[in-house]
Every structure is written in C-alpha cells, then in structure tokens.
C-alpha cells in the first residue's frame, strides 16, 4: 500500500512541477503587448524565423531572395542575398523574436529616410515582419517587396501602432518630394495590394515610436 501511495505522490509532484513551469511561461507571455503578438499571429512560438542583419524577420519554407535594382548583371537581376529557413544556422524561435521586440519596444529605432532599392521576393506562404519604426518625416521600409511571379502580384500588408502607406518606387519618390501617393493602410486592418511586377514599399510619416508592419505572400 505504501508503494502505491508513494507512486501517487511522485506523480502529483511531477505534475505540479510542470504546472509551475507553464505558469511561469504564461506570466512571461502576459508581458508581450498585443501588437507584437498580432505581428506573429498564425505562427506558433516554437516555430523558427530568421533575423536579418539590418532588422526584421522572415518566415516560411524555401529561399527568400534579395535583389538590388542598382546591380544589373548582363541586363538581369541577380540575387545579392539568399536566405533559407531550413538551412540557416542563425534562425531563432518566434518566442525569442517576440521577446527581442518587447525588450526594444521603448528604444527609438530610426528607419530609412530614403526610398530603398533592394527588393525582397516572397514565395507562397513567406512572411516578412519588421522591427520597430521611429523618426521624423517620411520613413521607408528597408526593402521593396515583390511576390514570386508564379503566385501572382498581390501581397498582404498590415501595419500596427500607426497607419502607413504602400506604394511603388515611383510613388514613394513622389511622396518624398512632397506629392503624396500610394495606398493607405490603417493599423490592424490587413489589405491586399498589387502594383503588377513593380516592387511595393511601406512608408509612414512621423511614425509613432514602435510602429511595425507585416507583409506576406498569402
């Protein structure tokens, strides 16, 4: 009989230990602001993303290719960077990415004041998630974004904390010169946008500190 009770007690202690771990993790997750949680909506905390050297995260299967419109080789674009979530040794978990954004949420992070020339191509299911925006005047994403031609031209955009716009390079340059163009997107309201084969750029004016955006080929 004593053996039975000892077994039951051991089992109860085991379950209690795991319950305490779950409560600790839940407490940590309570600190993550809703906007950061929404940035990663649909992604499990244990899934992986790649943190890019100049900011932002990419998610999805297959290669993510980055081109530069200023770098033509024999009349065509050649990738200057390629990332593969299945092979990249620098990938981190979604949970780690959330914690990074939470720690840095009150630190001003001035983003691009000029229109980007580098282009990120997203295949089906791939997602780019920005880090926080701040700064005065017009501020631009670090990349233009295009969908893999095999999936059509539409990309799904969402902005958080503050509103923004999405435009082609031409529209972004016009906006920088004082003629505001581009499609408005409102915080927390996803919108599908297409400029045909042209790159799509996110930009926002005097962004509220901690503004983020997400673009996906879904």
> Which tens digit of pLDDT belongs to each residue from 127-139?
999 999 888 999 9
Task: Tally the domains of the chain.
Answer: 1
Average pLDDT over residues 24-46: 77
| Structural domain contains residue 69 | yes
In this structure, what token pair is assigned to residue 106?
Answer: 């009150």
> Which tens digit of pLDDT belongs to each residue from 71-128?
655 556 778 889 998 888 779 999 999 999 998 877 767 778 899 999 999 999 999 9
pLDDT at 15 over 50: no
| Structural domain contains residue 22 | no
| Structural domain contains residue 178 | yes
CA distance 126 to 58: 7
Average pLDDT over residues 159-170: 96
| Structural domain contains residue 149 | yes
CB of 187 closer than 8 Å to CB of 215? no
More confident residue, 10 or 68: 68
CA distance 166 to 202: 5
| Structural domain contains residue 134 | yes
CB of 159 closer than 8 Å to CB of 212? yes
| Structural domain contains residue 11 | no
pTM above 0.85, yes or no: no
| Structural domain contains residue 57 | yes
| Structural domain contains residue 28 | no
Average pLDDT over residues 28-46: 84
Q: What is the pLDDT of residue 72?
A: 54
Q: What is the pLDDT of residue 2?
A: 53
Strands (E), the chain: 48-51, 57-59, 63-68, 72-73, 76-77, 81-84, 91-93, 118-122, 127-129, 138-140, 144-147, 155-160, 164-167, 183-185, 191-193, 201-205, 212-216
Give the structural domain span for 154: 34-216
Q: What is the chain's mean pLDDT, rounded? A: 84
Q: How far is CA 131 from the centre of its chain?
A: 7
Residues linked to residue 175 through DSSP beta bridges, in sequence order: none
pLDDT band at 180 (very low <50, low <70, confident <90, very high): very high
Q: What is the pLDDT of residue 76?
A: 65
């Amino acid at each position: 009989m004593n053996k039975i009770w000892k077994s039951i007690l051991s089992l109860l202690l085991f379950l209690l230990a795991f319950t305490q771990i779950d409560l600790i993790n839940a407490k940590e997750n309570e600190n993550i602001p809703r906007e950061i949680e929404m940035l990663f909506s649909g992604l499990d905390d244990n899934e992986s993303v790649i943190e890019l050297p100049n900011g932002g995260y990419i998610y999805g299967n297959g290669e993510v290719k980055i081109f530069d419109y200023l770098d033509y080789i024999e009349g065509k674009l050649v990738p200057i960077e390629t990332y593969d979530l299945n092979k990249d040794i620098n990938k981190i978990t979604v949970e780690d990415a959330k914690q990074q954004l939470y720690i840095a949420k009150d630190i001003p992070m001035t983003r691009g004041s000029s229109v980007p020339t580098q282009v990120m191509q997203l295949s089906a299911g791939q997602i780019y998630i920005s880090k926080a925006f701040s700064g005065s005047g017009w501020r631009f994403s670090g990349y233009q974004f295009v969908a893999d031609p095999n999936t059509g031209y539409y990309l799904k955009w969402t902005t958080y904390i503050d509103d923004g716009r999405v435009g082609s390079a031409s529209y972004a340059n016009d906006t920088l010169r004082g003629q505001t163009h581009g499609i408005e997107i409102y915080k927390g309201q996803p919108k599908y946008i297409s400029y045909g084969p042209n790159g799509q750029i996110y930009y926002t004016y005097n962004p509220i500190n901690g503004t983020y955006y997400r673009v996906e080929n879904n």
